[in-house]
Chain A
Amino acid sequence: MALNAESVPMRWPAGPLDIACGEKAKGFTAQTAEVLRNWQDPASLAIVQGTPVNCLVVSWAAGLPADAAQPEALKPLIEKGRQAGLDFVGLIEGKADRVAAVAAAKAAGLAAVAMDGDAPAGASLPVIPWNKGSQVRSASSPVLGISDGIWPGLPQAASQAGGPTNLPWVDSNGAPVLIARALAPDKTVWVGFDPPPPQPPPQPPQQQPPRPQQQAGNSAEAYVLAVADPASYGAKWVISLDDQLRADLTAKKQPAADVWKKLVETLAFFGLHNQARTYQPDGPLAVLSNFAGPDYDSGEEAINLFPRIRQPFRVIARSRAAAASFAGLQAVYYVDQEAPDAALRQKLIAFAQGGGTVFVPSKWPNPEGAPLTAEPYLVFNLRKLGNGRLAVCKDAQPDPSDLVDDIQNIVSHRNDILRLYNAPSMNFLYETSAQGRQGVIHLLNFSRRPGSDGPLFYVKEPHKSARLVSPEIASPTDLAFTPQEAGGAELFLPKLSVYGAIELEK
């Protein structure tokens, strides 16, 4: 079986190479080594039997002496797995002999290998580019990897000092995934990240009855979010379990089985609700960049921040901008320090002259249009351009938060198509079908626990129906539109712990 969009990958640490790598890490224990040996045993594959997981990512070569023993050690596992319909991908890292590792992978029957940098010339297997988000690149493989994903949630060090009025920062994989999708729309994106080391569960104060048995590692909700965050943005998490969960699953402990069951159910849910593969992010604003080199950070930060200020947006790769439609857009944020080529510049200027707003960096040469009076605090100088505006950044490195706030302010809430209330720890992503008749709003709760009130959406345009789907509810629920006096309608949602999606039909 070849890798494709249906592949559901899972990191499968096992064998001498993982033990050798583990021994170099802090906190590596004899128990962890034992689990790695156990997971080398073909019997351990029972864990994924009957689940959506159909592709195991194994350590293959890392430039260590243990590289040599790894293929032989994993041979029974790979053979048994392949018989059961599983694909195997070999992860090649560090200073490994890449040519030899690819050849060994081919011989062992792996479906592909994954490695950073460039694939060896004439590789006899598909090579999944396995790079940091900032260096993501397309290749012949149907899969594109992002190796430096982030465990999603609220950062541990998040300050509570803001009281009831602060929107907290969230850790999400949304931005690198959307960028990868824009750069390589025909590829399936995989994101790799590991769970944080498990924290011991808080002990109940004395005199209180003991709590029911809990999983000692990361919670089920944390794993649900780890699946849902990349999935809602259109990517797949290369599932990675913490040491404790792997040990407890091996030991068949019930709390671990419950966590695994919930993770598997979430995978199944996203297997059924997979619109993100064909829908595209939508909104009145487009972020346009080459997302490379020094421009990557600016583009990624904007795409990180727009969801926090509830601004729906599209992402356009500069290499594809000439063919991209600007229909329905109110504004384009051109991120790159390098000026666009003449054709793209003309397209942007024509868009502004037609009534849009184009936001450009301070290096934009010879800005078109006549200066407009604007509030002095704005990070942009505004210029009138036909029926629209050109907004030229005043500084080479503006504060990213001020920048996105000002873009939203200048575009105006008059053009809001969606608004989210009562969900400070949530982000949403709005996507629509090619014809725009169907839409989906993915809603992620990074606190992993329900808020005091259910989320509430304002939807500007009339729709025929709205339906809530979520792994947290037994069956899809129709949502009623509550019309608003000033236009639009509101949708009231039940409380959500981690993920829900509103499927909209015009």
Chain B
Amino acid sequence: MKQHLTRRELLAGAGIGAGALLVGPAKSLATVAKPGRVAVARCKTYGPELVPAMEKMFDQIGGLSGLVKGKTVAVKINLIGVRWQRLGNAPMEETFWTHPRAIGAAVHLMGKAGAKRIRVVEGPWSTPETLEEVMLSMNWKPRDILTAADNVEFENTNYLGRGKKYSRFMVPAGAMIYPGYDLNHSYEDCDVFVSFAKLKEHAATGITLSMKNVYGTTPITIYGEGAGKDEPSIRPHGGRGGTFHFARRLPSKSAPQQIDMSLPKDAGYRLPRIIAELNSARPVHLAIIDGVMSATGAETNYGSRPQAAVKPGVLIAGTNAVATDAVAMAVMGFNPMNDRGQAPFAASDNMLHLGENLGVGLRDLKQNDIAGVPISEVVFDYTAVRDKILAERKKA
């Protein structure tokens, strides 16, 4: 019988003492993480109830004006995956993508609260197209978002965009995978960074909420399958999986490199750490999660996975991404204190735990200030939906 684990096995965790080993080479800043304020609102539709529900929620976490008045705000939305692949007939905004009316509502409220400039940002899958073009291709009305407040603009952050150079964000607590990340200028230009995510599960990381949404800030000119070897490519190509999920390739040499090439090449190990690092390097000031309509089972359509379009009818917002995601997990019927091997982290480490160790926020619900509708009243059990689909498949 093997008596000792190798360093690689220790790092991989593999469910054995994972909690103690989660941080790896980075120093733990768990003690410096501050409690977050999170609000939960019931919102059944994207109709007239949306703006009041969102406004009340923002008030419950301290109000928007203190956060955005006179400031430049970057709102990172979620437009994941190939846009031509829906879940059944449901439009992307009703399953995987942040809903345009929810984006418009948030932008409107930020404008009302005095934001000087609002830039809606995202790096949609493998394209240099403007966000306006991506939205038009989904039959959205981007004009509704652009006119929801003064000085609203879009930027595709898959590449250099309107910037002259990439902005470097270092991980303050030290690296687990990468010591820092080079991002589009929009993430440095902003005074306030908002992650506007969808209430979803994720095939590799268990969940994808406001923390995971920050993963999409990484430019594919540097981290994509078609990135330049030495310098960022001019044109974005491909997804990020080769670099981030599986370490099949390196980022452009101009960017900070992986600290140790012997680290596990397992997405369940790598992604939670990369996500935690990104959230530490480029902290989220306001996390919003659109759970009015969503999808269970995964972040995008996987075809054979047990997935369903659902209507949890809930919105969540908070001043801290870890805390907000912890509340969102509870709303989804998951325990945010769980680690690898426990739902929803079947094959991955808990990004919230890793984020906590980097000082991003606290995942223990008791340590955060939670307002609005009690979680118990809006729980929408994602596991139950999956179990039902599986049972129906078995019967069929």
Contacts and interface: CB of A to CB of B under 8 A. Distances in A.
B163 to A, nearest CB: 11
Contacts of B234: 376-377
Contacts of B89: 453-454, 456, 490, 492
A493 B317 CA distance: 38
Contact of A409 (B82, B133, B141, B236): B133
A320 interface: no
A162 B239 contact: yes
A414 interface: yes
Contact of B85 (A376, A414, A422, A454): A422
A451 interface: yes
Contact of A484 (B85, B137, B139, B241): B139
Given A165-B300, A166-B82, A424-B84, A412 B136 contact: yes
B81 A164 contact: yes
A164 B84 contact: no
Interface string B237-261: 0010100000000000000000000
B248 to A, nearest CB: 9
B301 A377 contact: no
B86 A421 contact: yes
Contact of A167 (B82, B87, B241): B82
B235 to A, nearest CB: 4
Interface string A417-461: 001111110000000000000000000000000011110101000
A202 interface: no
B128 interface: yes
B301 A413 contact: no
Contacts of B235: 377, 402
B66 interface: no
A453 B84 contact: no
B84 A421 contact: yes
A71 to B, nearest CB: 54
A224 to B, nearest CB: 23
Interface in B157-208: 159-160
Q: Which of A409, A484, A492 has the most CB of B within 10 A?
A: A409
Contacts of B301: 164, 452-453
Interface in A136-181: 162-167
B128 A377 contact: yes
Nearest to B221: A377
Contact of B133 (A376, A412, A456): A412
B141 A310 contact: no
Nearest to B128: A377
Interface residues of B, number: 32
Interface residues of A, number: 35
A165 B234 CA distance: 22
B52 interface: no
A25 interface: no
A376 B137 CA distance: 22
A486 interface: yes
B364 interface: no
A166 B236 CA distance: 15
A413 B85 contact: no
A312 to B, nearest CB: 14
A42 interface: no
Nearest to A451: B303
A477 to B, nearest CB: 16
Interface string B73-84: 000000001101
B304 interface: yes
A22 interface: no
Contacts of A310: 84
Contacts, number: 80
A375 interface: yes
Contacts of B303: 164, 451-452
A307 to B, nearest CB: 13
A231 B29 CA distance: 66
Nearest to A401: B237
Contacts of B81: 164-165
A375 to B, nearest CB: 7
B129 interface: yes
A488 interface: yes
B380 interface: no
B25 interface: no
Contact of A486 (B129, B139, B159, B300): B139
Contact of B82 (A377, A405, A424, A492): A424
B88 interface: yes
Interface string B82-105: 101111110000000000000000
A165 B133 contact: no
A416 interface: yes
A376 B234 CA distance: 8
Contacts of A423: 84
Interface string B43-65: 00000000000000000000000
B321 to A, nearest CB: 25
A481 to B, nearest CB: 13
A424 B126 CA distance: 15
A84 B52 CA distance: 79
Among A162, A375, A422, residue most surrounded by chain B Cβ atoms (within 10 Å) = A375
A85 to B, nearest CB: 47
B300 A453 contact: no
A422 B83 CA distance: 9
Nearest to B162: A375
Contacts of B87: 453
A375 B161 CA distance: 8
A453 B139 contact: no
A6 to B, nearest CB: 38
Interface string A117-132: 0000000000000000
B86 A456 contact: yes
- Residue from A409, A413, A458, A484 whose CB has the most chain B CB atoms within 10 Å: A413
Contact of A164 (B130, B141, B302): B302
A13 to B, nearest CB: 40
Interface in A209-252: none
Interface in B131-161: 133, 136-137, 139-141, 159-160
Contacts of A421: 84-86
Contacts of A166: 82
Contacts of A402: 235
A486 B82 contact: no
Contacts of B133: 409, 412-413
Contacts of B126: 165
A413 B84 contact: no
A78 to B, nearest CB: 51
B382 interface: no
B136 A413 contact: yes
Interface in B268-321: 300-304
B345 interface: no
B159 A377 contact: yes
B125 interface: yes
Contacts of B160: 376
Nearest to A493: B89
B139 A163 contact: no
A412 B136 CA distance: 8
A327 B301 CA distance: 39
Contacts of A375: 128
A225 B315 CA distance: 47
Contacts of A162: 239
A400 B140 CA distance: 28
21 contacts: A163-B239, A163-B241, A164-B81, A164-B85, A164-B302, A165-B82, A165-B125, A166-B82, A310-B84, A375-B128, A377-B235, A409-B133, A412-B133, A416-B137, A419-B139, A420-B84, A421-B84, A424-B84, A453-B86, A453-B87, A490-B89
Interface of A: 162-167, 310, 375-377, 402, 405, 409, 412-414, 416, 419-424, 451-454, 456, 458, 484, 486-488, 490, 492
- The 9 A-B pairs with the shortest beta carbon distances in the complex, nearest first, are A413-B137, A452-B303, A377-B235, A413-B136, A165-B82, A164-B302, A486-B139, A377-B234, A377-B128
